[in-house]
Amino acid sequence: MPPQRSSVRVRVHPLGDTALVAELGSRLDTALNTRAIALAAALQKRRDVRRAMAGHGMVTVQFDPEQVSLDALTAAIRRLATRRPPVEEPGRLHRIPVVYDGPDLEEVARKRGLTPSEVVDIHVRPIYRVFLVGFVPGWAYMGPLADELVLPRRATPRTQVPAGSVAIAGQETGIYPLVSPGGWHLIGRTSVRLFLPDSDPPSLFRTGDRVKFFALTG
């Protein structure tokens, strides 16, 4: 039986002479991310593709210009994008313990018209998708975050955020794997190590994984 196909509009943007971005859509949802992951996997099998990396709803592709032209690769991407992703087991499930005592917890609750305990209850409710790994080693952009908790980033970013800080911003949540600057709202902390320098890849989370938070007492 031939693979099922669907109507997917792909926008391709060149990045110099050896790379491009294939944009499948701009909304933040797991179905679109699944398509991006499937497209990246299909492209990675091509000899003329050096690397294909899935993001939220897009794929960044590094290719060999001596083996394929931009136009030819664009046409191939548009063909591949019409295929429905194979039905497979979802990514690995990680259960992350969190002590919800972050310095921004009460402010988040106030801004959203909630109590701190309600913020915690809403944050632990979903199973989040890892949409993208990047920013700093081990960082994972996860979501979608419940509408009740959606806030823009802090007006003034912190110059130093402790490693293990659990944070929210926009429609996403994340965990700071290393001490670094950051502008997300800090609502808790975890002791789970996310950056694993001796592993390959050196990140606990991978694109497509699932994450479930649960609350611990401080």
Domain that holds residue 175: 93-216
Residue 96 pLDDT grade (very low, low, confident, very high; cuts 50, 70, 90): very high
| 102 and 208 together in one domain | yes
Q: How many domains does the chain have?
A: 2
| 119 and 196 together in one domain | yes
| 204 and 112 together in one domain | yes
| 115 and 176 together in one domain | yes
Q: What is the mean pLDDT of residues 155-183?
A: 96
**Which among 81, 104, 137 is the end of a domain?**
81
Q: Provide the CATH number for the domain around residue 26.
A: 3.30.1360.40
Does 145 fall in a domain? yes
Residue 85 pLDDT grade (very low, low, confident, very high; cuts 50, 70, 90): confident
Does 87 fall in a domain? no
Measured CA distances, 48 to 16, 65, 69, 88 (Å): 16, 8, 10, 26
The 8-class DSSP code of residue 203 comes to B
| 77 and 138 together in one domain | no
For residue 204, pLDDT over 50 is answered with yes
The predicted pLDDT at position 200 comes to: 75
Does 1 fall in a domain? no
* Beta bridge pairs of residue 12: 22
Which tens digit of pLDDT belongs to each residue from 121-142? 999 999 999 998 887 888 999 9
Which tens digit of pLDDT belongs to each residue from 14-36? 999 999 999 998 888 888 888 99
Which tens digit of pLDDT belongs to each residue from 67-77? 999 999 999 99
| 101 and 139 together in one domain | yes
Measured CA distances, 159 to 133, 179, 180, 183, 197 (Å): 21, 10, 7, 9, 24
Residue 62 pLDDT grade (very low, low, confident, very high; cuts 50, 70, 90): very high
| 50 and 115 together in one domain | no
For residue 159, pLDDT over 90 is answered with yes
| 37 and 110 together in one domain | no
